[in-house]
């Protein structure tokens, strides 16, 4: 009796990773009635790490940098995923438990050393993360000569922030390539960025790598540390900030997705962002092999597409393909300037850079895209 009134099972969507793309997807899917959505991440909050450099020179800015997961989604499992059992449609957690899914979305991102990001782990709290940044601020204030090892976006933005608020400090960027930041930007962009950093008196040591990394202490105030480079140069500094280590967070995908994993750790995806060979597993953001600049903008685009594709799959519709759009990329040089492009190779002017990113580092946009208002 009563079997005819039983409700059909609602598909369960499991999202692994609470970064830009994972939290955007969680926000979108939680509003849908066609599925149940769960986010798995070992931390208690998302880090808006674009704001990391600003928070180091302006500690009160950290209120914009951390967004509690419970403000974005009601179903959050605070654990680390250790394995995928795709034949059984379950993931294994660090505590030994397993969670079943109908659709799995891998949005685990990539790790970078502190202070670009803090390590999101089970015993890390939002207040603890803020404390770490405040401690680093005090270390930075005491340093007179600062070296950023690596020339990625964070290194350039940190150098610009420090030289804006502390113009008397010496700041050096040491980078193993000829050009800073992204390979997706043109030479005009590179030249403009170099010029604006040098106008701030940031010393650029390009096309040379550090040869004595093992002898150095990072993120510690230590006078007269000697940094040696492959060009035979040697500089003495008080604080060394690691900016060049970047690791895609996909170890837990082995061996289940071995055939879809590149040597870099990136996951190969189809045009609709399904993992190759897996009709109910998607990969978005930093962790996939899409040849795009990995920014909050492209992460949001991919999250939006996968939200629509999962809904279409549940309802028997057609899955759409991800289309690479024009490059949206801005590198700030302090809170008043920057270099940027919104495609077509045309550079943004100073006012456009400030209004688009430099002023609040996308904070209002990032919070709004998760249904939230910036904290007062």
Rounded CA-CA distance 257/225 in Å is 43
Which residue in the block uniquely carries the two structure tokens 């059909």?
Answer: 8
Q: Is 122 helix (H, G, I), strand (E, B) or coil?
A: coil
Distance between CA atoms of 159 and 235, rounded to whole angstroms?
17
Question: What is the torsional sign of CA 277, 312, 285, 86?
Answer: negative
Strands (E), the chain: 12-16, 36-40, 45-47, 66-68, 76-77, 81-85, 90-93, 98-100, 103-106, 110-111, 145-149, 170-174, 202-205, 225-228, 234-237, 239-242, 247-248, 281-283, 328-332, 338-342
Point out which residues pair with 240 in neighbouring strands.
147
Distance CA 153, CA 180 (A): 8
Query: Residue 287 and residue 192: Cα distance in Å, rounded?
Result: 30
Using the structure block, give the residue that is written with the tokens 């580092």.
361
Exposed / middle / buried, residue 34 (Cβ in 10 Å: 0-12, 13-18, 19+): middle
173 bridge partner residues: 148, 204
Residue 189 CA to residue 168 CA, distance in Å, equals: 27
Domains of the chain from N-terminus onward: 10-42+79-112+246-325 (3.50.50.60), 126-245+327-365 (3.50.50.60)
Hunting for tokens 């899955």 — which residue is that? 319
Extended beta strands in 175-253, E state? 202-205, 225-228, 234-237, 239-242, 247-248
What is the spatial distance between Cα 133 and Cα 136, in angstroms, rounded to a whole number? 5
Q: b/e map of 197-230 (b: 16 or more CB within 10 Å)?
A: beebebebbbebbbeeeeebebbeeeeebebbbe
Which residue in this structure is represented by tokens 């294994």?
Answer: 92
- Comparing CA positions, the residue from 117, 134, 152 lying closest to residue 19 is 117
Per residue of the chain (376 residues), give pLDDT as tens: 445 555 678 999 999 999 999 999 999 999 999 999 999 999 999 999 999 999 999 999 999 999 999 999 999 999 999 999 999 999 999 999 999 999 999 999 999 999 999 988 777 899 999 999 999 999 999 999 999 999 999 999 999 999 999 999 999 999 999 999 999 999 999 999 999 999 999 999 999 999 999 999 999 999 999 999 999 999 999 999 999 888 999 999 999 999 999 999 999 999 999 999 999 999 999 999 999 999 999 999 999 999 999 999 999 999 999 998 889 999 999 999 999 998 767 899 999 999 999 999 999 999 999 999 999 8
């Amino acid at each position: 009796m009563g079997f005819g009134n039983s409700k059909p099972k609602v598909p369960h969507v499991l999202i692994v990773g609470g970064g830009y793309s994972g939290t955007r997807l969680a926000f979108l899917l939680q509003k849908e009635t066609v599925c149940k959505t769960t986010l798995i991440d070992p931390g208690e909050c998302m880090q808006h790490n674009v704001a990391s450099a600003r928070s180091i020179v302006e500690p009160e800015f950290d209120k914009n940098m951390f967004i509690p997961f419970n403000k974005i989604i009601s179903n959050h499992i605070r654990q680390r995923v250790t394995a995928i059992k795709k034949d059984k449609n379950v993931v294994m957690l660090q505590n030994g438990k397993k969670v079943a899914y109908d659709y799995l979305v891998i949005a685990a991102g990539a790790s970078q050393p502190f202070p670009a990001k803090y390590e999101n782990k089970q015993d890390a709290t939002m207040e603890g993360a803020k404390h770490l940044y405040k401690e680093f601020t005090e270390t930075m204030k005491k340093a007179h000569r600062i070296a950023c090892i690596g020339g990625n976006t964070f290194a350039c933005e940190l150098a610009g922030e420090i030289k804006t608020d502390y113009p008397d400090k010496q700041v050096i960027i040491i980078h193993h390539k000829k050009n800073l930041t992204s390979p997706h930007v043109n030479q005009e962009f590179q030249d403009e960025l170099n010029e604006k950093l040098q106008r701030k008196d940031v010393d650029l040591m390009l096309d040379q790598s550090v040869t004595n990394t093992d002898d150095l202490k990072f993120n510690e105030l230590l006078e007269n540390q000697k940094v040696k480079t492959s060009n035979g140069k040697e500089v003495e500094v008080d604080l060394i900030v690691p900016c060049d280590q970047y690791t895609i967070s996909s170890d837990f995908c082995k061996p289940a997705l071995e055939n879809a994993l590149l040597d870099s750790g990136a996951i190969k995806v189809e045009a609709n962002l399904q993992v190759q060979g897996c009709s109910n597993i998607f990969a978005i953001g930093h962790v996939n092999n899409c040849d795009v600049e990995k920014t909050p903008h492209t992460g949001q685009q991919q999250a939006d597409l996968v939200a629509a594709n999962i809904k279409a799959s549940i309802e028997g519709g057609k899955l759409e393909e991800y289309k690479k759009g024009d490059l949206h990329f801005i590198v700030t040089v302090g809170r008043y300037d920057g270099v940027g492009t919104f495609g077509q190779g045309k550079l943004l002017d100073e006012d456009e850079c400030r209004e688009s990113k430099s002023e609040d580092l996308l904070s209002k946009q990032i919070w709004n895209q998760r249904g939230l208002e910036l904290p007062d």
